[in-house]
Amino acid sequence: MKPVWFEAAIVINPGTLVRLGAIGAVMLSVAAAFAYTGGALSPLRLTQDRMMAAFQDANGSHAGFRRNHAKGVCVTGWFEASGQAAAFSKAAVFKSGRVPVVGRFALAGGMPFQADAPATVRSMALRFLPPGGEEWRTGMNNIPVFPVNSARGFYEQLLASSPDPATGKPDPTRMRAFLAAHPETVRALALIKKRQVTSGFANSSFNSLNTFRFVDAAGASVPVRWSVVPVQPFAADSAEGSAEGDKNYLFDDLIAQIAQHPQQWRLIVTIGQADDPTNDATLPWPEGRRHIDAGTVTIDHASSEDSGRCTAVNYDPLVLPPGIEPSDDPLLSARSAVYARSFTLRAEEEHEKPPSAVTTREVQAGGKL
Amino acid sequence: MTTQARFPAASRLLHWLMAPMILAMLFIGVGMAVSVSARYDLLVSIHRPLGFAIFVLCIIRIVNRFIHPPPELPDTVPSMQRYAAKASHIVLYALMFIMPLVGWGMLSAARYPIVLYGPLRLPPILPHDLTLYARLRDLHTDLAYLFFATFLAHFAAALYHGLVRRDGVFDSMASWQRSSIGILRTVPASMQDSTYIAEPNADRYQADR
């Protein structure tokens, strides 16, 4: 053991001071690199937390709910694969046979108690659980293309549509400025506006919007998009339910229809060609692409989110089985990241979550209360 | 001149194999937890198998430590520093073991498929439970910051031994030379006289004993 003065002598030695300084500089550099990687030194970088803050600005704070597509119901059923998609993808889910499905129907937007309305974007999310542990999750919307093609675009659109604190309403000049900077959104919104809105969830088509890749057993890959197309006949939206003041009319109709008869959709896979856009979800694919009928989704049971099996599931679009891969669409990574953050936040808030808009009692009453 | 015993080759190999893996893991982790960029998916798909590899190597390393105990620190190291060294190594081993388990557990509680590569998956080790997921997810972040802080302390202490104390502790892990004399302790003959006395080194400690 050395006396204290000896230790002190080491420290006050000029050469030692330089060396200690060098060690300090190395430590500072490593810590700064770590802070930079974690976004702490770049306040303008678009991060998961900034995206969450934008959702809160747009929709208010709703503890325990998904940050987007907050209002929904859980459903279960099965997928009966035709076997036709197995030539393009080695995924077990496409081999002919029956696979259980846990799904969720929802309305776009972060307001869990918003009134159902025809123009609100509808979504269907599915979790396929084939034997052997491969899993496929997909979230689809009833619009033909997505309004934005990047995480930054999504964020700016969210900010532009957020209510102005002074008026409580979105500022039209901000939306005009956003659209002026995003011609791809203007083109996409024109296509979205032209879509035929149906009378309910059960006769809506839902589209993957993003491009993925199917990989076959030999390793060959093709770009794909998919849709679920209703077997139920088309009927135009009459908005009768909303006129009668039923805030949940779309969900109530769906619950009643499922209780009456299982509802079915065909899973149609569109096979893209080499020059079809894969990295831009605002662009539709040209007509005349090959369509594969991969099988039928049957939904025979609905339940409230308060007791349903979809509630603890994050419908992350990058939960994919071998045989389905992400494309170069940057939105896929962004969706995966943002969904994961939203999932973590609502898991943390689980104990403060109020009952959902569509309650267990409402579902048990067959959708009419 | 005292010769500080070196770590056995197996221990040095495990240390230098895992050090860049763990450092990469910490940076990937802190980056992917904020990212919404196109890199997010890649980072996550590296994070999972890398974490599992660290877990497996950590078990091997613990077994190795029992077979090949590390050399004692030189007597010249003050008792407070000895205590800090011991404590920080316990923390590092505990984190190497617990961090991957917490990650595996939290993905299990969230029922994410735990894909390592292609069809290679890990089974869930905990029930599907949102609240449990939230607790483990927060713990994973807290432990990551503790891990990074402990790594910094470990790195600073190593450099302090190598550059300031020059007591052979740094070389006991860092040197790959056959002899026990490390690069940092090899000084030109011209410096091994009075001009060098100002630098405390193992010889000085020896002389003072």
Q: Which two tokens stand for residue A159?
A: 């900010």
Q: Which entry of A69, A182, A291, A301 is annotated as an active-site residue?
A: A69
Question: Is the domain of A94 the same as that of A234?
Answer: yes
Residue A328, SS3?
coil
Decide if pLDDT at B185 tops 70: no
Decide if pLDDT at B29 tops 80: yes
Q: What is the mean pLDDT of residues A60-83?
A: 97
Phi, psi of A131 (to 5 degrees): -60, 150
Q: Which of A14 and A232 is assigned the larger pLDDT?
A: A232
CB within 8 Å of B87: residues ≥ 6 apart:
none
Give A209's DSSP letter.
-
**Residue spans of alpha helices (H) in A38-170:** 48-59, 151-160
Spatial CA neighbour of A331 closest among A71, A113, A148:
A148
Domain coverage including residue A57:
47-146+196-364
Q: What is the mean pLDDT of residues A11-15?
A: 78
Element (H, E) at B158: helix B130-159
Question: Total domain count for chain A?
Answer: 2
DSSP string, A230-264: ESSPP-B---HHHHTT-TTHHHHHHHHHHHHS-EE
Question: Is the domain of A39 the same as that of A101?
Answer: no
Cα separation, A307 vs A286, in Å, equals 42
In a domain, B69, yes or no: yes
pLDDT level of residue A165 (50, 70, 90 thresholds): confident
Decide if pLDDT at B16 tops 60: yes
Q: Does B131 touch chain A (CB under 8 A)?
A: yes
In a domain, A253, yes or no: yes
**Interface probe, candidates B30, B35, B36, B138, chain A, greatest A C-beta count within 10 A:** B36
In a domain, B85, yes or no: yes
Question: Is the domain of A33 the same as that of A58?
Answer: no
pLDDT value for B5: 86
Residue A171: count of CB within 10 angstroms of its CB: 15
pLDDT value for A14: 82
Question: Is the domain of A212 the same as that of A243?
Answer: yes
pLDDT value for B195: 37
In a domain, A188, yes or no: no
In a domain, B45, yes or no: yes
- Residue A226: what residue type? W
Q: Which two tokens stand for residue A357?
A: 């808009």
The strand pair at A221-230 and A263-271 is best described as antiparallel
Phi, psi of A216 (to 5 degrees): -90, 180
Cα separation, A41 vs B195, in Å, equals 44
Question: Is the domain of A205 the same as that of A219?
Answer: yes
pLDDT value for B205: 39
Decide if pLDDT at A239 tops 80: no
Question: Total domain count for chain B?
Answer: 1
Cα separation, B51 vs A199, in Å, equals 49
Percentage with pLDDT > 90 across chain A: 89
In a domain, A81, yes or no: yes
Assign 3-state DSSP to chain B and report helix, strand, coil percentages, each to 5. Answer: 70, 5, 30
**CATH number reported for the structural domain that contains residue A130 in this entry:** 2.40.180.10
Decide if pLDDT at B81 tops 60: yes
* Vertex A204 angle, CA A199 and A208, to 5°: 155
In a domain, A178, yes or no: no
In a domain, B3, yes or no: no
**CATH number reported for the structural domain that contains residue B55 in this entry:** 1.20.950
Cα separation, B7 vs B9, in Å, equals 6
Answer yes or no: do B119 and A39 touch at CB < 8 A: no
Question: Is the domain of A35 the same as that of A52?
Answer: no
Cβ–Cβ < 8 Å for A253, A215:
no
In a domain, B1, yes or no: no
In a domain, B78, yes or no: yes
Cα separation, B26 vs B49, in Å, equals 14
Q: What is the mean pLDDT of residues A89-93?
A: 97
Q: What is the mean pLDDT of residues A118-144?
A: 96
Domain coverage including residue B158:
9-208
pLDDT level of residue B188 (50, 70, 90 thresholds): very low
What ipTM does this complex have?
0.92
In a domain, A164, yes or no: no
Answer yes or no: do A333 and B40 touch at CB < 8 A: yes
pLDDT value for A238: 77
Residues of A in contact with B30 (CB under 8 A): 34, 37-38
Pairs of CB atoms within 8 A across A/B: 130
Nearest CB among B44, B78, B148 relative to A34 is that of: B148
Question: Is the domain of A297 the same as that of A330?
Answer: yes
Decide if pLDDT at B202 tops 50: no
Residue B12, SS3?
helix
Q: What is the pLDDT of residues B145-184, one digit of tens each?
A: 999 999 999 999 999 999 998 999 999 999 877 654 444 4
Question: Is the domain of A221 the same as that of A314?
Answer: yes
Query: Can A69 be counted among the known catalytic residues?
Result: yes
**3-state SS, one letter per residue, for B44-88:** HHHHHHHHHHHHHHHHHHHHHHHHCCCCCCCCCCCHHHHHHHHHH
Q: What is the pLDDT of residues A15-70, one digit of tens each?
A: 889 999 999 999 999 999 999 999 999 999 999 999 999 999 999 999 999 999 99
Q: Does B127 touch chain A (CB under 8 A)?
A: no
Q: What is the pLDDT of residues A329-368, one digit of tens each?
A: 999 999 999 999 999 999 999 999 999 999 999 999 887 7
pLDDT value for A153: 97
Decide if pLDDT at B191 tops 50: no
